[in-house]
Amino acid sequence: MMNHTHTPNRLLLMIGLIALAFSLALTNAQAQPADTDPSAKDDGEIKVARLVYDNGKTAVCFADQFLATYARETGQNVKRGYVQIALDSDKVFDHPFVVLSGQEAFELSDKEKKNIKRYIDRGGFVLASAGCSNVAWARGFESAITELFGKDALQGIGTDHALFHTVYDIDHIDVRKAGGRTPIQALTIDGRIRVLYSPLGLNDTGNAGGDCCCCGGSEIKNARLINVNALGYALTR
């Protein structure tokens, strides 16, 4: 059974967020282009980007409810809803946390590959998911990561990892249909997760609204809480 109680480290979350603010300010001053996205200017609000890639594909069914949940649980000023950013744009570097997802085959352009590698290498955090365990999307994502970071870059992680104990204590991954695949994988650089990925779906489509439906596909049923923890981890590590 999942324990939804808070871990006793809200002070650490606050300290981490303050450190992040100083780090981002320094990075932006040293390395960002002059014409940045007005929506990403520093107004004290944490903004999460939803990436657009491969000629207009994006994560239309990746629920953003975890943003409001994170804000409520931590007291942080988080924008309710995504800022939509093209992966081949320099504006991606204005956001410390981005979502990359979809439900069909895709291939990143050379500029998109360059940007996502640079983004990850510079400390950005990518939350990636094959919607409803779509095999074609998963193959496209895994192929891109292998090309950019090597064939063993993605490794399975368990709930003993610190990421699962930032805002909520999560002791299991609740999968609708496991299908024999490792449900949560990560790309780790210098001891810190930079990409959290699920081939089984972290989309939380039940909270995505509209016509979004997993419709018999597999998803991780406690995705919202995992995504909350991923955001907490990204902002404090």
Q: How far apart are CA 208 and CA 57, in angstroms?
A: 17
Identify the CA nearest to 222 among candidates 201, 196, 195, 191: 201
For residue range 7-43, list pLDDT tens digits in order: 435 544 554 554 444 344 334 433 333 333 333 445 6
User: What pTM value is reported for the model?
Assistant: 0.83
pLDDT at 216: 74
Complete domains list, the chain, with CATH: 3-21+44-236 (3.40.50.12140)
Q: How far apart are CA 77 and CA 162, in angstroms?
A: 23
User: Does residue 189 surpass a pLDDT of 70?
Assistant: yes
For residue range 209-224, list pLDDT tens digits in order: 878 888 777 899 999 9
pLDDT at 42: 53
pLDDT at 233: 98
Q: How far apart are CA 130 and CA 135, in angstroms?
A: 7
Task: Calculate mean pLDDT across residues 179-191.
Answer: 90
Give me 73's structure tokens.
């649980």
pLDDT at 25: 38
Q: How far apart are CA 98 and CA 91, in angstroms?
A: 12
Give me 176's structure tokens.
């609708």
pLDDT at 176: 85
pLDDT at 204: 93
For residue range 122-177, list pLDDT tens digits in order: 999 999 999 988 999 999 999 999 999 999 999 999 999 999 999 999 999 999 87
pLDDT at 5: 44
Q: How far apart are CA 206 and CA 181, in angstroms?
A: 22
Give me 81's structure tokens.
């809803």
pLDDT at 37: 39
For residue range 44-102, list pLDDT tens digits in order: 899 999 999 999 999 989 999 999 999 999 999 999 999 999 999 999 999 999 999 99
pLDDT at 182: 87
Give me 103's structure tokens.
């439900």
Q: How far apart are CA 197 and CA 143, in angstroms?
A: 13
User: Does residue 190 surpass a pLDDT of 80?
Assistant: yes
